[in-house]
A and B are shown apart, each in its own frame.
Chain A
């Protein structure tokens, strides 16, 4: 067997694919063939490297050189210089912004330095469409070891000992969930993988399924053995076509190799996995709704108890685990529960993947040990705030979470600390906001989302969130009455206390946390009819600065309601009564004479 002397890894995650990374793969393969290097150089499309800000990424091994923002046209230079002559293509290396140095190895980049990859261990390292690469990376060793050496009860105990908690939002101890389901006797039990990732901005589950689908399949089989289930379903949203495609390939290969199906490793244990597609409803990420949806019913939540571990899918004991949770599991069995529980904080073990987004320099997917501070994540890994602006807040936990202020930047991040400071882990979305963001508007954005996504089953969520949204709209339009802030808070508490499922119970969180931390901003909107960040259009006031206006008439010509008057070469004036706050004059003025407040 001839060995490839060089491996070119190209990111094949959705982000990089949309920037033509598949064309890069195609060009590389073509030119490698043309140079008669097909026996020496291997091209592999991998999963997400996480550094999405600088994609598409191409990594060259064994030199361990990472190229960023590669275009299909750069391929010729990479082949001619690096592959043939062994010289790095300097201009494609990452430039460290502070010292403007070019860095070739990922481990020297601030973005990767503080990361610890467990769930994402194979993303960007192996070909997700080739089961043999997963096997070479110790894949299916855990299930093999378990089936030959461990009893189901020992598997559950190991999970409990590891301290792994659900990564989908709630943070429920995974071992405990498995324990409940294993104790409930039934002729059939089920393992469900919740891949209905719905938080705006979160994409870790998609990246894991795209980059390392076999780790999820292996973990589901482990779960099946632990609780006594022979059947698994992956509930995945149809909007993730690449993840669906790779999962189908992975399931097909695992069946072919006998790693799924009947009598796995000759142990007598059967486990099969099927896909079920979601139509993208946010509420179907809630486990009882998800189960309803798999059964073919409307995706609406049901009361708990009974919990799924007791009566789940088709009234049989069922466990529902999130993608990232599952991706951690095979490693726990290979390296041991003690190893896993040595990472992280006192009550939150292991790592957490965060989708870093918003006004931060390095947008991407980062995995860090629990207990790291927000400051380290946003400023060290994330590279700080875009355009040198001032940090204002970070929103975690998606529509169910809350906003965290600068005062809590040094709080170690884990499940319990986030709840203590008024937010939550959620699925790990992290949206950074700067001084130009209006917090009332942010709360309104999330409410609009939950209002749209409410399934309508319970009144508190269906009508309550609609009313909350209307109140916030009135505030941002300057039409709110003085007592509206108290009403806002009261209604939020009522929804929290009375909604049926997790969606409704947490939907007022963005409102409550911004009310707590940014009360002054609300007051400015309500009492002064002013938006401090200048975001709320209806509250902005446009005026023309007399000294700067040269009377060119540009603004008057573009003004839709024709409310700007003045004669040529004389300063113009805006009639505030007629102004519709569209901002057209501001854009039209070439002399900075229009002021917006």
Chain B
């Protein structure tokens, strides 16, 4: 580590790390992105999707997103599946999300609030 000489250098380190720390974010207001990572999801490339999406979020400097990995979400025909929960809005379930499409979701839905219509496979199931 070379000694940092400006506040900008510190901020750069913070931005790089903040995304990893977002897993520990306990605020109610964060956007939750749930990625199905059961055996089926991982086999279909969910790991790559997960990495690509979180890297894109770092790049865009978004630290209000919490990536959560879940088990099988049931839509095995459409793996990898990604659910987006924006506080105060209905959850959206996306299917067939490979790494490139994951990046598209981050750019369009998470960053700009526009749904990626062609990837939506429906509303997630009701929870008890």
Contact = CB atoms under 8 A, between A and B. Distances in A.
B7 A144 contact: yes
A188 B66 CA distance: 48
Contacts of A144: 7, 10-11
Interface in B1-18: 1-7, 10-11, 13-14, 16-18
Interface stretch (A1-9, A191-199, A271-279, A312-320): A1-9
A141 to B, nearest CB: 7
Interface string B39-70: 00000000000110011001000000011111
A186 interface: no
Contacts of B2: 258
Nearest to B47: A40
Q: In which size bucket is the chain A interface?
A: 35 or more
Contacts of B19: 3
User: Which of B11, B58, B68 is most buried by chain A, counting CB atoms within 10 A of its CB?
Assistant: B68
B80 to A, nearest CB: 13
B115 interface: no
Contact of B17 (A7, A136, A266): A136
Contacts of A257: 1, 3-4
Contacts of B71: 85-86
Interface stretch (B21-29, B81-89, B105-113, B117-125): B21-29
Contacts of B25: 62
Contacts of B21: 126, 133, 136-137
Contacts of B66: 62
A265 interface: yes
Interface in A136-157: 136-138, 140-141, 144-145, 147-148
A147 B51 CA distance: 37
Contacts of A85: 71
A145 B8 CA distance: 10
User: Which of A1, A136, A141 is most buried by chain B, counting CB atoms within 10 A of its CB?
Assistant: A136
A38 to B, nearest CB: 14
Contacts of A86: 69-71
B13 A135 contact: yes
Given A7-B24, A266-B6, A136 B14 contact: yes
B25 to A, nearest CB: 8
B14 A141 contact: yes
B24 A265 contact: no
Interface string A361-393: 000000000000000000000000000000000
Given A2-B51, A61-B24, A107-B26, A148 B67 contact: no
Interface in A37-77: 61-64
Interface in A120-139: 125-126, 132-133, 135-138
A7 B10 contact: no
A141 B54 CA distance: 24
A547 interface: no
Q: What's the dominant secondary structure at chain B's contact region?
A: helix
Contacts of A6: 23, 69
Contact of B24 (A3, A62, A141): A62
Contact of B67 (A5, A125, A137): A5
User: Which of B7, B16, B25, B67 is most buried by chain A, counting CB atoms within 10 A of its CB?
Assistant: B7
Contact of A3 (B26, B51, B70): B51
Contacts of A4: 20, 23
A4 to B, nearest CB: 6
Contacts of A140: 10
Given A2-B51, A261-B3, A132 B68 contact: no
A3 B3 contact: no
Given A3-B51, A136-B21, A265 B4 contact: yes
B24 A266 contact: no
A136 B20 contact: yes
A5 B50 contact: yes
Contacts of A5: 23, 37, 50, 67-69
B62 to A, nearest CB: 13
User: Which of B17, B18, B66, B67 is most buried by chain A, counting CB atoms within 10 A of its CB?
Assistant: B17
The 4 closest A-B pairs by CB, nearest first: A258-B3, A136-B17, A144-B7, A5-B69
Given A62-B67, A265-B6, A265-B10, 17 more contacts: A3-B23, A3-B50, A4-B20, A5-B37, A107-B26, A132-B13, A136-B13, A137-B21, A141-B7, A141-B14, A144-B7, A144-B10, A257-B1, A258-B4, A259-B4, A261-B3, A266-B5
12 contacts: A3-B54, A5-B67, A62-B24, A62-B67, A63-B68, A138-B14, A140-B10, A144-B10, A257-B1, A258-B3, A258-B4, A259-B4
